[in-house]
Amino acid sequence: MSPSAGSVRPLAALASGPLRGRIRIPGDKSISHRALMLGALAIGETVIEGLLEGGDVLATAEAMRAFGATVTRQAPGRWTVNGLGVGGLLEPEDVVDFGNAGTGVRLAMGLASNQATTVTFTGDASLRRRPMGRILDPLRRMGVQVLARSKDRLPLTLKGPDVALPIDYRVPVASAQVKSAVLLAGLNAPGVTRLVEPVPTRDHTERMLAAFGAAIEIETNADGERVISLEGQRDLKPQSVEVPGDPSAAAFPIVAALIVEGSDITVESVLLNPLRSGLLETLIEMGGDITIEKRRTVGGESVGDIRVRASRLRAVNVPAGRAPSMIDEYPILAVAASFAEGRTVMEGLGELRVKESDRIAAVAAGLAANGIACEEGPESLVVTGRTGTGGGRVTTHLDHRIAMSFLVLGLATADRVAIDDAAPIATSFPEFRDLMTGLGARFEELEPPAS
Ligand code: S3P
């Protein structure tokens, strides 16, 4: 089946008893994509432990095969990649389909641009609506030619230059995907590719490039901005990569435990990178009873076990500056805010309009369907807690995080919450339903609409 295909699976979440137990969530999605891609560029065998086996990452694994790398699933979560060297990827014989995976396709466009191959990329209906100009602009400056049916939207054909130009680039949006695409393209450009990042975003690409032996340096300039310099045309050395648990997946059981009365759960081995920890910070400010146990280092990243007990939450103002460190977590934060005393104000959310769905609109509509007071601004959301009791049906727009957020809502509202389609959850967190059920969550499958 192509990553873009699939059938609709409506699901309801029912009011649930206390959630109890310990769970281990799957590997981090961002790190999983990057491990496969850098593995494909390193000659020799890269071993990845704890790879997320969700649809998005599987699409990247398939793409790396299409580029000629040998990618093998040795055991659940344990994968090996035999790469082809920087500049050594082959031209795929067919269109490369990334399904729902924005990170996969944007980073792969950078990868494919550092050599003279012609590659056509596509994705599902959600991905074909998302803006690609932010990636294509710097790539064009590096010498890449772009052919598009519709302006800067997938499907797109990219023809890499014979010799890529290293560029100096100021990242105009707070986006780790843009930063990463330029760095990956810079890997095979002769000379130094230099990026200025005014607002720090997740740094997994930089960390992993350094671990694979790339010539990368990070400094802070006089204005306090991060400056990343990468010297191209250096070999990468294969690595053993241990992928820590995904904090963006952990967010769902964590919020569920805070809002379902009597809950007490522990989520093990979660990545605690400060550039990903905005949600935890916010939930603690809201009065969430959250403690980090056994803090340790795994594969160069800080991880810990997160213990969460049900809590009376109070509303907070979430500063715009925190958005990059919790950009994927606003839908589930809005669910937590639905149970907090007062008005939670979330600002600086412009980027949410161009995620897997328009997440500001999708969250506002979903909360309204469940009677929860919510004000939607162009770049903001305000949620007034304890105003609704559920009972709604939510449209998820092919967005896994909207689907999981509203299922979590339904575990704690008096009336059940239904979503139109649970299938996209498999893109990032295939074990979601089983793990949540194991903790005590109740779900009910609904009839799919007659086709
Ligand atoms: C990601 C970066 C973020 C995030 C996405 C994963 C990454 O996107 O929303 O889920 O792995 O680099 P942007 O770069 O668009 O902010």
- Cβ of residue 30 lying under 6 Å from some atom of ligand 1: yes
Cα of 134 from ligand 1 centre, angstroms = 13
Closest ligand 1 atom, CA of 178?
Answer: 14
- Residue in 246, 328, 399, 420 annotated catalytic: 328
Cα of 214 from ligand 1 centre, angstroms = 22
Closest ligand 1 atom, CA of 177?
Answer: 14
Percent of the chain with pLDDT over 70: 98
The pLDDT tens digits for 131-140 are 999 999 999 9
Kindly report the protein residue whose alpha carbon is nearest to atom 13 of ligand 1.
175
The pLDDT tens digits for 142-156 are 999 999 988 899 999
CA angle in degrees (0–180, nearest 5) for 176-178-184: 95
Cα of 248 from ligand 1 centre, angstroms = 11
Q: Range with the lowest mean pLDDT among 24-28, 123-127, 161-165, 278-282?
A: 161-165
Kindly tell me the sign of the dihedral angle through the C-alpha atoms of 405, 411, 412, 418.
Answer: positive
Bridge partner residues of 158 (DSSP): 119, 146
- Cβ of residue 206 lying under 6 Å from some atom of ligand 1: no
Beta strands across the sheet bearing 215-220: 168-170, 192-197, 226-231, 215-220
* pLDDT the model gives residue 6: 63
346 pLDDT more than 70 = yes
Tokens of 399: 């967005």
> Candidates 177, 273, 326, 329: which one to mutate for ligand 1, based on the most atoms within 8 Å of Cβ?
177
Bridge partner residues of 382 (DSSP): 345, 375
* pLDDT the model gives residue 4: 53
Spell out the long-range contacts of 223-229 with Cβ–Cβ below 8 A and sequence spacing 24 or more: 223/198, 225/196, 225/197, 225/198, 226/196, 226/197, 226/200, 227/194, 227/195, 227/196, 227/197, 228/179, 228/183, 228/194, 228/195, 228/197, 229/192, 229/193, 229/194, 229/195
Cα of 342 from ligand 1 centre, angstroms = 30
Q: Is 415 among the residues known to form the active site?
A: no
Cα of 103 from ligand 1 centre, angstroms = 6
The pLDDT tens digits for 368-414 are 999 999 999 999 999 999 999 999 999 999 999 999 999 999 999 99
The pLDDT tens digits for 401-451 are 999 999 999 999 999 999 999 999 999 999 999 999 999 999 999 998 876
2 pLDDT more than 60 = no
- Cβ of residue 197 lying under 6 Å from some atom of ligand 1: no
- Cβ of residue 175 lying under 6 Å from some atom of ligand 1: yes
* pLDDT the model gives residue 356: 96
Q: Is there a contact between 359 and 402 (Cβ–Cβ < 8 Å)? A: yes
Q: Where are the alpha helices (DSSP H) in 189-269?
A: 204-211, 247-259
Q: Range with the lowest mean pLDDT among 2-16, 22-36, 86-100?
A: 2-16
- Cβ of residue 327 lying under 6 Å from some atom of ligand 1: yes
The pLDDT tens digits for 214-256 are 999 999 999 999 999 999 999 999 999 999 999 999 999 999 9
* pLDDT the model gives residue 1: 42
3 pLDDT more than 80 = no
Phi, psi of 256 (to 5 degrees): -60, -45
Question: Cis peptide leading into 155, omega within 30 of 0?
Answer: yes
The percent of the chain in helix, strand and coil, each rounded to the nearest 5, is 35, 25, 40
**If you average pLDDT over every residue of the chain, what do you get?**
96
